[in-house]
Amino acid sequence: MRLEGKTVVITGAAAGIGRSTAERCAEEGAHVIVTDVDVEGGQAVAEAIEADGGQATFHELDVTDSDEFHAVVDAVADAHGLDVLVNNAGTGHPGGALETLDDDIRDFVIDVNIKGVWNGCHAALPHLKEQGHGAIVNVGSLASILGLPKQAAYSMSKGAVLNMTKAVAAEAGPHGVRANAVCPGFTETSLLDQYLESQDDPEKAREQMIRQYPLKRLAEPEEIADSILFLASEESSFVNGHGLVVDGGFSA
């Protein structure tokens, strides 16, 4: 198994890509640390993994709280060790022209998508550097490489995630620590549902979206989880500072 004996911390793991990643990592032998602000959902994921014979522990975590992030990571490292951090927690915003977006929406997106990833790296890197090995996988977006119209705050935040990943890779690489990002296209998650619901005609918006993908469908969370698993495992041992685009050919 690709992650046997490893401890993997995953943020935003109560649903969507985070949940699928937790399940895949557990299937590959990892002790998965499920974290989320959604206590009920996060506990349910951990319990389901345990019921299927895997190893999982839930920790409540608000990624925007640096002290809380440090406390969780330190506790996990002391109790189980730390091998992989997956910074998956993220948020979007209703579609709208840049000049119409309220400052509080912009700030919330920045707090979760940028500061959340920063807080995770800030908490995990001392442990990973000291032991001389480990991996960080940040979840970016197609918006990390393309500016999406009416998604200015989201595009800004995900662009920052990708460039931050490259900076961490360059800095931590000499210590044996890798950092990479997965950049998914639109994926069948609640975040997508929220975006579509903000459109005048959600069903028409979905159809138009699908037509832009050469594969003529959107991604499933399990497909993104498989890409995260690859970057978390030793199969990608010489991959560092990379943004792996998983978009069904959209950007092509």
Binning pLDDT at 50, 70 and 90, where does residue 98 land? very high
Neighbour count for residue 52 (Cβ, 10 Å): 11
At residue 124, the pLDDT reads: 98
Mean pLDDT of 191-217: 85
Query: Which is more confidently placed, 200 or 48?
Result: 48
Candidates 15, 8, 16; CA nearest to 55 is 8
What is the CB-side half-sphere exposure of residue 250 using CA atoms within 13 A?
25
- What is the CATH number that goes with domain 7-188+219-244? 3.40.50.720
Tell me the pairing of strands 134-139 and 31-36. Answer: unpaired
Binning pLDDT at 50, 70 and 90, where does residue 224 land? very high
Domain boundaries, the chain: 7-188+219-244
Using a cut of 0.85, tell me whether the model's pTM lies above it.
Answer: yes
Mean pLDDT of 130-152: 95
DSSP state, residue 186: S
For residue 245, report the phi and psi dihedrals to the nearest 5 degrees: -80, 125
Question: Three-state DSSP class for 179?
Answer: strand
Share above pLDDT 90 across residues of the chain, in percent, rounded to a whole number: 86
Neighbour count for residue 226 (Cβ, 10 Å): 15
pLDDT tens figures, 163-177:
999 999 999 999 999
Which amino acid makes up residue 99? E
For residues 114 and 63, give the distance between their C-alpha atoms in angstroms, rounded to a whole number: 10
CA angle in degrees (0–180, nearest 5) for 78-81-82: 120
At residue 193, the pLDDT reads: 78
Quote the tokens at residue 192.
């997508």
At residue 150, the pLDDT reads: 84
Mean pLDDT of 209-234: 95
Mean pLDDT of 92-107: 92
Q: So which residues are the catalytic ones? A: 154
Mean pLDDT of 121-147: 97
Q: Does 91 score more than 90 pLDDT? A: yes
Question: Three-state DSSP class for 149?
Answer: coil
